[in-house]
Each structure stands twice: as C-alpha cells, then as structure tokens.
C-alpha cells in the first residue's frame, strides 16, 4: 500500500540573469555566454560576470542550462554510507541497498537511462561539495539520494535552488524535496500488536544504531503502540544493537539472564533476530516455546533458520522503482511540485512467535 501527497514549493525570488546583466550594464546574451565559458567573450569580461554572479548569489536554472548543454541520459544513485564507507560491505546493509538498486535499474533501463552509482561518506556529504559538483557540472540529468542517518540535510539546498531533479529515498527530509519512504513506525506497531494479541506483556526490543533513521522510526512505533495499549515498557527491555547477528546474540543473552526476562523479543532487523534465536537455542531455550522472536525486513535468512522467523516485509524494491519514476517525472515536467510517497509494510507471521501460556510462566519461575 502506498500513500502519496504533493506539495507546491514557495521559494523566495531568485536572482535572474537579467539582474546580473543590469548590475554590470551588459546584455543578457553576454552574461549567458560568459557563464558558459564561451570563446566569444573576452577573459576579462568573463571574470567580471562570474564575480558578479557569485556576489549576487546567482544560480542558473537547471532546465535552462540543459537547453544549451543537452541531456546526458544518466541518473546518479548516491548512497550516504555513514561515517565508515565499509558499512556497505556488511550483509545487513547489502540486503537493504541491493533491492533499491534493482528497482531503480529496472525503471531507468526501461526508459533508456543509464545509472551512475556512488557511495558517499556522511562527512563528505555534509561538506556539500559532492552534490554541488554533480548539480553544477551538469553531467547528470537527475539524482536519487538514499539516506539512512538523522543528520542535517542542508547540503541538498543547491538542488532546490537550481530546480534540479532530486528524489530522496528512505526519508522525508525537512526541505521540500520529493521523497519515497517506508512507514517504519507503522511496521513496528504491527509487530507490537501481534505480540500483544498473543498475550505477551514482557516484550523486549533490540533497536538499531541511534542515528539510523529506520531505527529511530521503529523505536517510535514500539513506544507509541505500548503507550496506546497501556503496556509499561521496562527500561531494561529497551536495548540498542548494531544490525549484526553478533549483536542480537549478545543482547538476547543479556535479556534472558535478567531477573524477570522477557517472553518476547522484537529485533529491529532480521540479522539481529537470527542472532537472538541462535543464542536462545544455545542456552537451552525453545523458540517460540519459551520466548517468541520477531525480526524486520523479511530477508531470505528468516526462512533458512529454524524456526522460520516472523518478520515485517517492506517494499524496498518498490521504493527504488517509485523513486526512479519520480526523478523521471521531475526531469520531464519540472520540479515545482514535490511528491511524497509513504509505503506501508506488511507483517509476515511464521513459526517464531506463539501465544504466551503457562509454559512461559513455569520456565521463568
């Protein structure tokens, strides 16, 4: 299910090429030729024009400059790779990014577009140089930006100022830029509702890294559903993992050794859920006989382990497809209207969850 809304942008008046020409007392044609480094304009005049444009904060409209430079038929897929770009090599990251790439490539290739892929370190993105260079140099017709961290996204302002086709995936950032994202909060609420319907009240949650947008939203969903249901969430039941199997193993061990252990553990991704299942089984506990376990992502690993893991299916590939469709719309019709699409995830119930019963009470005394 997808939810879409549109918003018209209200921008302050932009400095125009006419303003630069009037400031210098030259023609618009001279300004245009100078900014495009034409050999028909003397170097001294070029320097004056470029300096004036800088002082007046003039930025050429992307679509106007495209008329003179033409189209590259290339879209950039930029992924913010966190503080350490090696995160891209982790299994949990690949399971998230790969379907997005599949969706983007499927849509773009059908329309005759090529894809340029790049992983950008967060620090490098925050400096603003990478996106600014891509926008200003004009070697791309549009950009799809995949984000995962709760940071300041002011560096995308260059795209809005130049009316450049930009779509953000996995978040709706403060700036009015077209976006496509999964409703993580809704997914987490569905998990909590499922566990509550099974009679569980001692529910633990293993979340993801603190700055991760998906982790933040899933944590909000857990807390919101607990509040709606009148379920007190013990502080000792709320833990933070790092998306990896080892993390799920270690935290599950800590949780089961509590004086009052949980009867259900909700993990914010499948990798940690697998870790939790493996650790509980190694300690002699039955899943779901003693403890129910839920993951998130519906990755193939959920069907490999025993028991098969209850999880949340999110349309990551569809997010990529819709993002590609949106950037193509912006290229063809302009960027005056930003569209925001939210995709609702689906709970997939398998064998790792069961009703809370007397067996749990006896086991945990």
Tens of pLDDT, residues 91-149: 677 788 889 999 999 999 999 999 999 888 888 888 888 888 888 777 899 999 999 88
70-182+315-344 and 184-314+348-364 in the same fold: yes
Residues 96 and 146: their CA atoms lie apart, in Å, by 11
Contact present, 343 and 181 (Cβ < 8 Å): yes
Convert the pLDDT of each residue in 142-173 to its tens digit.
999 999 888 889 888 888 888 889 999 999 98
Q: Which residues contact 336 (CB under 8 A, 6 or more apart)?
A: 8, 9, 163
Residue 259 is predicted with a pLDDT of 95
Find the helix packing angle between 43-55 and 17-24, rounded to 10°: 120
Distances (CA, A) of 288 to 12, 252, 277, 280: 58, 14, 9, 10
Residue 362 is predicted with a pLDDT of 43
Contact present, 76 and 142 (Cβ < 8 Å): yes
Contact present, 311 and 273 (Cβ < 8 Å): yes
* Closest C-alpha to 35, from 12, 52, 56: 52
Residue 84 is predicted with a pLDDT of 53
Task: Give per-10-residue mean pLDDT for the chain (365 aa).
Answer: 63 69 81 71 84 77 51 86 58 82 94 90 84 83 92 87 91 91 98 97 96 95 97 95 96 97 97 97 96 96 95 96 96 84 97 81 49
* Closest C-alpha to 314, from 293, 340, 343: 343
The H helix count followed by the E strand count for the chain is 14, 13
Residues 4 and 59: their CA atoms lie apart, in Å, by 31
Contact present, 135 and 159 (Cβ < 8 Å): yes
Q: Quick one: residue 18, left, alpha or beta (phi over 0 = left, psi -120 to 50 = alpha)? A: alpha
Helix spans in 58-176 (H): 62-69, 91-110, 122-126, 129-137, 157-161
Residue 60 is predicted with a pLDDT of 61
Tokens of 137: 């140099």
Cite the beta strand spans of the chain per DSSP E: 2-8, 74-80, 114-120, 142-146, 166-169, 178-182, 203-207, 238-240, 264-267, 292-294, 311-313, 337-343, 346-348
Contact present, 178 and 326 (Cβ < 8 Å): yes
Residue 67 is predicted with a pLDDT of 46
Domain ranges in the chain are 1-45, 70-182+315-344, 184-314+348-364
- CATH T-level topology, domain 70-182+315-344: Rossmann fold (3.40.50)
Q: Which residues contact 361 (CB under 8 A, 6 or more apart)?
A: none
Tokens of 289: 């006989």
Residue 361 is predicted with a pLDDT of 45
CATH class of 184-314+348-364: alpha beta
CA geometry: angle at 176 spanning 175 and 178, to 5°? 120
Q: What DSSP letter does each residue of 315-334 carry, written as one string?
A: -HHHHHHHHHHHHHHHHHH-
Contact present, 30 and 49 (Cβ < 8 Å): yes
Contact present, 184 and 214 (Cβ < 8 Å): yes
Tokens of 164: 């450049």
Tokens of 139: 């070697």
């Amino acid at each position: 299910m997808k939810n879409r809304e549109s918003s018209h942008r209200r921008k302050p008046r932009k400095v125009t090429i006419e303003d630069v020409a009037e400031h210098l007392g030259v023609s618009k044609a001279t300004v245009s030729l100078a900014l495009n480094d034409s050999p028909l304009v003397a170097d001294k005049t070029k320097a004056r024009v470029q300096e004036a444009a800088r002082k007046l904060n003039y930025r050429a409209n992307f679509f106007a400059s495209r008329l003179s430079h033409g189209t590259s038929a290339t879209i950039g897929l930029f992924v913010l790779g966190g503080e350490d770009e090696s995160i891209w090599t982790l299994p949990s990251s690949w399971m998230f990014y790969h379907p997005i790439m599949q969706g983007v490539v499927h849509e773009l290739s059908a329309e005759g577009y090529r894809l340029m892929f790049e992983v950008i370190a967060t620090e490098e993105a925050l400096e603003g140089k990478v996106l600014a260079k891509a926008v200003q140099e004009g070697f791309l017709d549009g950009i799809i930006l995949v984000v995962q961290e709760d940071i300041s996204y002011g560096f995308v302002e260059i795209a809005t100022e130049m009316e450049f086709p930009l779509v953000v995936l996995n978040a709706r950032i403060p700036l009015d830029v077209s976006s496509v994202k999964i409703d993580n909060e809704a997914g987490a609420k569905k998990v909590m509702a499922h566990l509550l319907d099974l009679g569980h009240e001692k529910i633990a949650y293993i979340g993801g890294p603190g700055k991760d947008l998906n982790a933040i939203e899933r944590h909000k969903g857990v807390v919101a559903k607990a509040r709606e249901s009148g379920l007190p969430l013990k502080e000792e039941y709320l833990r933070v993992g790092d998306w990896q199997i080892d993390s799920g193993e270690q935290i599950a061990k800590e949780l089961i050794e509590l004086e009052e252990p949980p009867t259900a553990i909700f993990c914010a991704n499948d990798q940690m859920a697998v870790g939790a299942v493996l650790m509980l089984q190694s300690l002699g506990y039955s899943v779901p006989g003693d403890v129910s376990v839920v993951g998130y992502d519906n990755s193939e690993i959920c069907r490999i382990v025993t028991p098969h893991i209850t999880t949340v299916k999110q349309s990551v590939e569809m997010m990529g497809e819709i993002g590609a469709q949106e950037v193509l719309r912006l290229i063809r019709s302009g960027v005056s209207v930003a569209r925001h699409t939210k995709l609702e995830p689906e709970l997939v119930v398998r064998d790792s969850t069961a009703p809370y019963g007397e067996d749990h009470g006896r086991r945990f005394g």
